[in-house]
Homo-oligomer: A and B are copies of this chain.
Amino acid sequence: MRIIVFGGDGFCGWPASLHLSDLGHEVMIADNLSRRAIDEELGAESLTPIASIADRLAAWREVSGREIAFRDVDLAADYDALLTALEEFRPDAVVHFAEQRAAPYSMKDAGHKRYTVDNNVRATHNLLAAIVESGLDVHVVHLGTMGVYGYGTAGMQIPEGYLDVQVTTPDGETIDQQILYPSNPGSVYHMTKVLDQHLFAFYAKNDRLRVTDLHQGIIWGTNTTQTSLDERLVNRFDYDGDYGTVLNRFLVEAAVGYPLTVHGTGGQTRAFIHIQDMVRCVQIAIENPPEAGDRVKIFNQMTETHRVRDLAAQIAEITGARVELTPNPRQESAENELHVVNRSFLDLGLEPTRLSEGLLREVEETAGRYRDRVDLERIPSRSLWTSRQAPGVPPSAPVPVA
């Protein structure tokens, strides 16, 4: 197949591009390298030393004998270049990772809120409008998030995108309906993925576009089979207060002898998936497209759920680190249950990588190996969800224990 990966230089896009290329697909990466620019803006750097996109592609050619094409395209800003890329490459599928993806970054201030909304909505809508204009039959696979559902659905299971409900009419008749799961995003970033859902629903209905939306949990793990082949292929590992996921923050804190900083009580339950499973899910999604005229196909792309404090405890057990509770900068429930349906990918052959099996490798091969590159200043999140929080709840920096 011919596949364009938009955002193919990013944390998920890069290993997905290599995985698809390794399977023998003809892959083009289209990326404006904005994630690298944000590193510079934040004065943050991937813990792993990532190569330039040119060096990455050269290394892949050398290691695999396969060629990945590259175009520097800003999906949100350069519609004509996007349309040209589609018309010239004529993809069977596109994978759309090209969005600003950090919740804390999206909440920093008005400028970052506006960048996240403008960039993400325009990127998605430009892609859909360009596919319609091109007249090509392209399957769109989009990286969404479990965060569109919101958390804390007491006693309920989160289905794969669509919820069965009963509605009572004025005549007292009960009607069964299946609706897009009511959204409850927790940040401007998550809100943009809600907006994406409505863009997809419209274009699937009006223009019969084939769209798959992957509602992904929090990724853990850094490298995949392909990114492990050569150090120039290494994937990024973010641990800064904006882009670092909770697990990465813990790993880095443990590696440098800091306590593990748990926000609030750590009672928040989150859904997780290993990066190796993510690339496999993207493959499965591409191989199982919806039909033209179908509604958007939604997969829950996660394999296990954990409470944040239980994650911290697991890492503490491996590393001997201490756990410390700090005020939570986010507006969210202190404790929540989370029950997620994820049958689709399992039924299609996904074999999950379990956290209990993979965590030690992360501690040793990533956080341990690159610990000298850690910049302690970058760890705390400095984004507050509302100005109301500012006086009472300052984001606290971790305190060294050793």
Contacts and interface: CB of A to CB of B under 8 A. Distances in A.
Interface of A: 79, 83, 109-110, 113-114, 117-118, 121-122, 125-126, 129-130, 132-133, 135, 155-157, 163-171, 173, 175, 177, 179-180, 182-183, 185, 187-188, 191, 194-195, 198-199, 202, 205-208, 331, 339, 385-388
Contacts of A113: 125, 129
Contact of A156 (B122, B130, B169): B169
Contact of A129 (B110, B167, B170): B110
Given A118-B122, A126-B114, A129-B110, A164 B168 contact: yes
Contacts of A165: 165-167, 177, 179
Given A156-B167, A156-B175, A164-B168, 17 more contacts: A83-B110, A110-B130, A113-B129, A114-B126, A114-B129, A132-B387, A135-B387, A155-B171, A163-B167, A165-B179, A166-B166, A170-B339, A177-B182, A179-B179, A185-B202, A208-B386, A208-B388
* Most chain B CB within a 10 A radius of its CB, from A110, A177, A194: A110
A126 B379 CA distance: 30
Contacts of A182: 177, 179-180
A228 to B, nearest CB: 39
A135 B191 CA distance: 22
Given A167-B156, A175-B156, A386-B207, A194 B185 contact: no
Q: How many copies does the complex hold?
A: 2
A389 B271 CA distance: 43
B191 A199 contact: yes
A97 B234 CA distance: 50
B133 A125 contact: no
Query: Which 7 pairs across A and B sit closest by C-beta, in order of nearness?
Result: A165-B165, A179-B182, A110-B133, A110-B129, A166-B166, A191-B202, A117-B125
B170 A385 contact: no
